[in-house]
Structure 1
Amino acid sequence: MSGRQRHKRNPRLVIWRRWGDWRKLAVGVVTGGLIALLLTTRLAPDKVNLRVGDAARDDIRSPRYLQYRDERETDRQRQLAAASVVQYSTIPDAAVRVDQRINLFFQQASQLRVRDRGGSLDEQARVLQASAPPGLPVTSIRQALLLAPARRQKVAQAARQLAREGMSGPVRRNTDDLSRTQALLRARAAALPLSPTERELTGEVAALSLEHNLLLNAEETARARERARQSVPPVVAEIRADDILIHKGEIVTAEHLELLERLGLRQPRTPSETRVYLALLGFGLVVLFGNYLYQFHLRLFRDLRALVLISVVTIGCLFIFRLGSAALGLKLSGDQMGYVGMMCSALAAMLVAALLSPQVAVFVGMAMAFLTALLVDNQLKFAMVGLVSSLAGVQAVTNIRDRAGILRAALAVCVANVLVILVAHGATVRYSWPELGVGVAWGMIGGLASVFLFVPAAALLERPFGLTTHLRLLELSDPNHPLLRRLAMEAPGTYAHSIVVGNLSEAAAKAIGADALFARVASYYHDIGKVVRPQFFVENQTAENRHAQINPSLSCLVVTAHVKDGVQLAEQSHLPPPIVNIIREHHGTCLIKYFYHRAMRTGSEDPAPGLEYQFRYEGPRPRTKESGIIMLADASEATSRTLEKPTPGRMRAMVETIVRDRLSDGQLDECELTFRDLEKIITTFTRTLSSMLHARIEYPEADTTDLLRWGADGTAGKEPTAALHGLSDTPEGVAGALTESPGA
């Protein structure tokens, strides 16, 4: 096996290439370590440092009013309510069997006395014992045999009557109902108008013949007990400000510590083994997230700045959540900290969505919601609330296109928070109305806070990381921006051209799903370099053509210099790097055909092999969809001004020619535009340009000359010039679909 083959099959090298250089690995390790640290460390010290079994050295008072649900008392009352409910099913024919048992006993006694007159009493008693009620004493059996038939019948009737009275009430199994009823029957028998012997026999036979008439129904009992539990409302306890929580010298119990945690005076303790699991969870989430980026967002995975930004946002929001009451200067209870976690989850997701990618932001929001819920007593409702708030925030900030969009985003997040809090509270446990009202209020506060914290946080992060948010783009689209003001004053033709290019680019970007706002704003600045020498570009020229006095090579240098000048001006004005890249790329490495062919015609240049290269822009070629769109929009707008009769058919043919020219020249090889995208761009450009350059009425020549000679106020006007009849009448304007004019 060769060394090269060993290198290819080395699994460690394969993993190293997959995860990138050591800097990305370092970002992952540091992020995982910080998450583990934040999950396992108490950042704010306890205001009351007590443990179970300690004796309070002083009276500990409540710092504020608190209304909370007393879980222990609520659970105790619900258990009592459930224990008091038992469901029984009736045992069929129980009373009939008791009656039959008594009849059989006395009938057998009568038959034995008649049939076996010569037998001994003991022998008859042994035979009758088989038909006697269970447990009936032998003395009672003998008494039944010795009774006269009439007295025996009277005793049997009295025993049946007593037994029926006993069976008319509940005699439940697994209770003392049977023994109590037997004792009651014996007491009633003692009051019967019979002889003492007969009363004793009647009571014993009736009592011992009884049986259970109700059987425990386990399924119905379970359902009834659950209904009883649910019927008990939560016990709401109140603590007023300055109430004594623990008296001096009182032994601290677990209930005391729970109350201190509710008031924010003490943080819950985390066992050591739980800390280990939390640390492993933090590193596991980082590994899972890195693999997710590698599989589905390779561009971001390769961008070290993007990885650092995600780490900073996640760690920062988790840090704010862990600081909790100390960070906000408030004493927050456990549930209130859950709502702070909701706000932090939404804030992290919105920042990642605005600065990097909405798809990645969804993952970040899910992870943050999971972690914050884990740290608030593992409550599922806060995981659900944080996740929905994050998703609503991602959608809200992604759709911001104007300043009013910020208010719409805040409203959307607030509504989502309130709805999910109502659903979460109703799905997990029954809450009191005051507690539910507090949750709704926190949902609105969290929604407003997350959006209004997002605005300065995004502005703070975008410049160091070289990113651009829609909020920043909205600022740059202001016509009063110094660069745009200078462009409008010093190069008005270029300014008008840039506005049209912006309209074209925005429409095309919307058609193919690119960033329409960025395409429009970047178009405003793509030709900003022309303010340095505006008179050398045809859209800013009046009568004099500066290029007629210099050779083509110098003209080429002047024209191409507007790219470098634009980059320099943009960097001096601290424009975002993506817009600076648009300025660099909007001409790619295109050939300036007008000056190139002019040089070839005049023969002032040697037809050397490198001549064509001298008349090309330095590049680079467009590397994003928006950059490719702006290149095509720039050329299409400049060329459309040369059409004398801009019909839709001619307009589409012109745009198709420009697209084919850029494709054949390789200018669109790096910008990820597909042929389907190009077809949509052609259609959009045609429709937009046709609406702007619609056909106009052709006036008779005499009338036109007269109109141009005399102004609207009756004063003498200027003589008509070729420039007024279209740029195609001037040598400088005949660029065509395949030609770069000085104004392109």
Structure 2
Amino acid sequence: MFQPLKNLIKSLNFNYLSLFVIGLTAILLFSFMYGNVKKETYELKEFQIAPDTIRSVKTVEDTVKTEQERQRAANEVSPVYHFSEDIAKNRQAIATSFFDFLIEVKGPKTESEDPPDAEELKKIKKEQIAKMRKKLEKLEAEVSELQLSDDAIATLLTLDTDILMNMQKRLVSILGEEMSKPIRTGDLSTSRYEVERKIRLDDVFPQATIQSMQAIGRSLVVETEKENEEQTKAQIAQAKESIEPTRILQGQVIVREGQVVDRDVHRQLKLAGLLTNQSSVKPIAGLSLFVLFIAFILFLHFNTWRANSSIKKKALFIVITIFFLLVILMKLISLIEKDFDVLLAFLFPTALAPMLVKLLTNERLAIMTTIITAATAGVMLQEGFAQIIQMEVALYILLGGMVSLYFLGNGGKRSTILQTSLGVAFFNMLFIAFYLLMTQSTYELKELIFYSIAAITSGILSGALTIGLMPFFETAFRLVSDMRLIELSNPNHPLLKKVLTETPGTYHHSIMVANLSDAACESIGANGLLARVGCYYHDIGKTIRPGFFIENQHAGKNPHDDLPPEKSRDIIIAHAEDGAKLLERHKMPIEIIDIARQHHGTSLLKFFFVKARDSGVDVTEEQYRYRGPKPQTKEIAIISVADSVEAAVRSMKEPTSQKIAALVRNIVSDKLNDGQFDECDISMKELKQVEKVICETLNGTFHNRIEYPE
């Protein structure tokens, strides 16, 4: 029934197929998610009559009212001022320095026999003023208002040193008295007036210097108590934080039927996302971008994955199938979640997608699937209108999925899956505990019990569904997962029992080839488990005519001695195809069948070819070659080498490490020159590594032993 469809898919180019499948996926995903984005809204304007009683479907914060309350609290906070004694001392120091400069410029009084004339006095005065100006530059830089005229400086320079020292002492005292009090910006005028008044009434200051001293005193009076902006801001912030947010609670009536929708009500409706307006198309546009983003990730992942086209096609359909199974489950949860007060999304099997995809394909695909599943669940399982994505749900699924990949490791046994499920359940409980603590809400006992059960159910359900769905995927896609391979490696499998009982020599040979192939595959990053299990079955065709193969001949008689070369050829060559057909009848995975059919490739049966040629028969090499095809994968190529090497080494009388190395090198070289690796992607570097590992393994098997005394 589905064969024509399978043939069509097989014939299509992967790029075109992926575009079509991922495009169809995007359309279906959009249709599933559309209902979760499009909410019920109302066409209402200000001062209209409400047609229904409208309740908020989500607890949202009324930011406008909250901000108004916080601003009111901030306005009630008084500024914090800080008084500094250092300011008064600094200003007193400036006043002291000013008079010190005057005294220094004036210099000591000298007795001169010839008093200077008027011209010389004028010159001295000018020099003193210039010196004083030079010294005042530093003070003026610090106190910009400290500006004195040349006349004022000249007047001060004419005073005796004793008078200047008294004036210095008194001015410093006046400044100290006034600036020891807290002076704010608004108090500056009063304080400066008081300093001017004290200078004017003090007899220490000569009448000619009053104005100069008042100017100096006024310029030196500044605020001694300034606003501490950091502390003020901190108190304002504390006052704002003390105001609890004003919320529109879930289920709260915003407007009743028949009530006028005033501006405040209209704003609350808009805040709750209950109004129909031009911006209502934005969530739909956002959903379209989200779906395109998911589609782009899928397309980019598969088109950057270097793998066989048939493998990629199969993996693509597996991922899409698993993804939509989970999307359907999300849809069901979102439909029934409205009737519950708890977050039902925590029941979602977080580890189902990653475990299934990893066991059926690979870990890289499993990580990608986990990410897109978590993102999709965050959108589909959201509550109300205020959120873009339900972040706790997205993180719950993402972290649960990633944890499952670490627990699962490289194992595919059912016991490993169950252990992984328990590990995921434990980490689910930790995440839910984090969620409940971060919400800072009070929960009833029944809610706590539900969330605990949900965490455990999610983990156990992930494992149970994985084990339950694996056989369906393996059958539908003819897959060979690690779990399936481990089952096939069981010695109690009917076909392996058949090999053991009917062809014991072949069974032992298969075990040895499996050890060599497994080690070699693992060393180059190929699938060692697939190679090992494939080796167990690769010579199953020999069970049809066991006595015609040397490893099963125990009586010393070789039936080929009595047969013509062409008859022996047909019997030997047939075992590859006979084995493939036998495996097909038992519905074995295609990878195992390919190993049985391809492990000899199109190699030459040299023994019987030479025997026929020496008998005088006109023969060609093509007549004595296996029917193929040549190995198509690295695993089969390695098995073909290991198969030939094991048989050849066993025939050596005294194998040494040098002989083994030369033999392995020659076999690999012969197969390479014969074109047996032309159709698989194994590299020369990898072949060298395979040679090395096979030699090491064989040296461990055929090592020298101690000869025990009789």
Match of 2:372 in 1: 367
Match of 1:562 in 2: 575
Q: Closer, same or farther in 2 for the Cα pair 1:606/1:76, shift >3 Å?
A: same
Q: Closer, same or farther in 2 for the Cα pair 1:643/1:634, shift >3 Å?
A: same
Post-superposition shift, 1:235? 13
Post-superposition shift, 1:459? 2.4
Q: Closer, same or farther in 2 for the Cα pair 1:621/1:282, shift >3 Å?
A: same
Amino acid at match of 2:291: G
Q: Which stretch of the first structure deviates more once superposed, 677-686 or 618-627?
A: 677-686
Post-superposition shift, 1:296? 3.8
Structure 2 residue 610 is matched with structure 1 residue 597: yes
User: What's the TM-score once normalised by structure 1's chain length?
Assistant: 0.62
Post-superposition shift, 1:445? 3.7
8 Å Cα contact 1:90-1:215 kept in structure 2: yes
Structure 2 residue 20 is matched with structure 1 residue 30: no
Post-superposition shift, 1:213? 12
Q: Closer, same or farther in 2 for the Cα pair 1:229/1:553, shift >3 Å?
A: farther
Post-superposition shift, 1:593? 1.1
Q: Closer, same or farther in 2 for the Cα pair 1:45/1:569, shift >3 Å?
A: farther
Amino acid at match of 2:653: E
Q: Which stretch of the first structure deviates more once superposed, 361-370 or 636-645?
A: 361-370
Q: Closer, same or farther in 2 for the Cα pair 1:331/1:471, shift >3 Å?
A: farther
Amino acid at match of 1:354: L
Structure 2 residue 314 is matched with structure 1 residue 305: yes
Structure 2 residue 635 is matched with structure 1 residue 588: no
Q: How far apart in 2 are the matches of 1:228 and 1:471?
A: 62
Post-superposition shift, 1:365? 2.0
Q: Deviations over 1:267-287 (max 9, x none)?
A: xxx954412331343134313
Aligned partner (choices 535, 552, 562) of residue 547 of structure 2: 535
Post-superposition shift, 1:470? 0.8
Match of 2:652 in 1: 643
Q: Secondary structure at the match of 2:80?
A: strand
Q: How far apart in 2 are the matches of 1:300 and 1:360?
A: 15
Structure 1 residue ranges without an equivalent (≥5): 1-16, 61-68, 98-166, 174-211, 262-269, 704-744
Amino acid at match of 1:358: E
Q: How far apart in 2 are the matches of 1:585 and 1:507?
A: 20
Q: Deviations over 1:479-508 (max 9, x none)?
A: 111111111111111111112221222222
Q: How far apart in 2 are the matches of 1:495 and 1:489?
A: 9
Q: Closer, same or farther in 2 for the Cα pair 1:674/1:251, shift >3 Å?
A: farther
Match of 1:389 in 2: 400
Post-superposition shift, 1:400? 1.1
Q: Closer, same or farther in 2 for the Cα pair 1:434/1:216, shift >3 Å?
A: farther
Match of 1:578 in 2: 591
Q: CA RMSD in A?
A: 4.9
Q: Closer, same or farther in 2 for the Cα pair 1:493/1:549, shift >3 Å?
A: same
Post-superposition shift, 1:555? 0.8
Q: How far apart in 1 are the matches of 2:546 and 2:284?
A: 66
Post-superposition shift, 1:619? 1.0
Post-superposition shift, 1:307? 2.4
User: What's the TM-score once normalised by structure 2's chain length?
Assistant: 0.64
User: After superposition, where does 1:397-408 map in structure 2 within 5 Å?
Assistant: 397-408=408-419
Q: How far apart in 2 are the matches of 1:665 and 1:434?
A: 74
Aligned partner (choices 81, 84, 87) of residue 90 of structure 1: 81
Q: Secondary structure at the match of 1:463?
A: helix
Q: Closer, same or farther in 2 for the Cα pair 1:587/1:302, shift >3 Å?
A: closer
Q: Deviations over 1:149-195 (max 9, x none)?
A: xxxxxxxxxxxxxxxxxx99xx999xxxxxxxxxxxxxxxxxxxxxx
Q: Closer, same or farther in 2 for the Cα pair 1:334/1:31, shift >3 Å?
A: farther
Q: Secondary structure at the match of 2:476?
A: coil
Q: How far apart in 2 are the matches of 1:582 and 1:56?
A: 71
Match of 1:454 in 2: 466
Aligned partner (choices 515, 527, 531) of residue 515 of structure 1: 527
Post-superposition shift, 1:475? 1.1
Match of 1:652 in 2: 661
Structure 2 residue ranges without an equivalent (≥5): 1-10, 45-49, 89-180, 187-222, 260-264, 274-278
Q: Deviations over 1:556-582 (max 9, x none)?
A: 111111111111111111111111111
8 Å Cα contact 2:482-2:529 kept in structure 1: yes
Aligned partner (choices 499, 514, 525) of residue 502 of structure 1: 514
Q: Deviations over 1:202-222 (max 9, x none)?
A: xxxxxxxxxx99998675465
User: After superposition, where does 1:139-218 map in structure 2 within 5 Å?
Assistant: none
Q: Secondary structure at the match of 1:386?
A: helix
Match of 1:357 in 2: 362
Aligned partner (choices 683, 700, 706) of residue 674 of structure 1: 683
Q: Closer, same or farther in 2 for the Cα pair 1:333/1:515, shift >3 Å?
A: farther
User: After superposition, where does 1:18-57 map in structure 2 within 5 Å?
Assistant: 23-41=17-35
Structure 2 residue 307 is matched with structure 1 residue 294: no
Amino acid at match of 1:34: L
Q: How far apart in 2 are the matches of 1:393 and 1:414?
A: 10
Match of 2:699 in 1: 690
Percent identity over paired residues: 30
Q: Secondary structure at the match of 1:452?
A: helix
Match of 1:470 in 2: 482
Post-superposition shift, 1:654? 2.0
Q: How far apart in 2 are the matches of 1:673 and 1:386?
A: 38
Aligned residues: 542
Post-superposition shift, 1:586? 0.8
Q: Secondary structure at the match of 1:478?
A: coil
User: After superposition, where does 1:339-358 map in structure 2 within 5 Å?
Assistant: 339-340=346-347, 343-344=349-350, 346-358=351-363
Aligned partner (choices 413, 421, 439) of residue 410 of structure 1: 421
Amino acid at match of 2:29: I
Q: Closer, same or farther in 2 for the Cα pair 1:571/1:302, shift >3 Å?
A: closer
8 Å Cα contact 1:628-1:668 kept in structure 2: yes
Amino acid at match of 2:501: M
Post-superposition shift, 1:638? 1.4
Match of 1:131 in 2: none
Post-superposition shift, 1:412? 4.5
Q: How far apart in 2 are the matches of 1:433 and 1:77?
A: 23
- The structure whose RCO (Cα within 8 Å, separation 6+) is larger is 2
Structure 2 residue 327 is matched with structure 1 residue 318: yes
Q: How far apart in 2 are the matches of 1:79 and 1:441?
A: 43
Post-superposition shift, 1:407? 3.4
8 Å Cα contact 2:80-2:229 kept in structure 1: no
8 Å Cα contact 2:526-2:635 kept in structure 1: yes
Amino acid at match of 1:399: N
Amino acid at match of 2:563: I
Q: How far apart in 2 are the matches of 1:220 and 1:498?
A: 82
Post-superposition shift, 1:228? 7.0
Amino acid at match of 1:365: T
Q: Closer, same or farther in 2 for the Cα pair 1:692/1:298, shift >3 Å?
A: closer
Q: Closer, same or farther in 2 for the Cα pair 1:50/1:458, shift >3 Å?
A: farther
Amino acid at match of 1:663: L
Q: Secondary structure at the match of 2:691?
A: helix
Q: How far apart in 1 are the matches of 2:480 and 2:630?
A: 21
Q: How far apart in 1 are the matches of 2:457 and 2:500?
A: 44
Amino acid at match of 1:40: Y
Q: How far apart in 1 are the matches of 2:542 and 2:668?
A: 24
Q: Closer, same or farther in 2 for the Cα pair 1:657/1:408, shift >3 Å?
A: farther
8 Å Cα contact 1:300-1:306 kept in structure 2: no
Post-superposition shift, 1:291? 3.1
8 Å Cα contact 2:80-2:231 kept in structure 1: no
Q: How far apart in 2 are the matches of 1:314 and 1:71?
A: 32
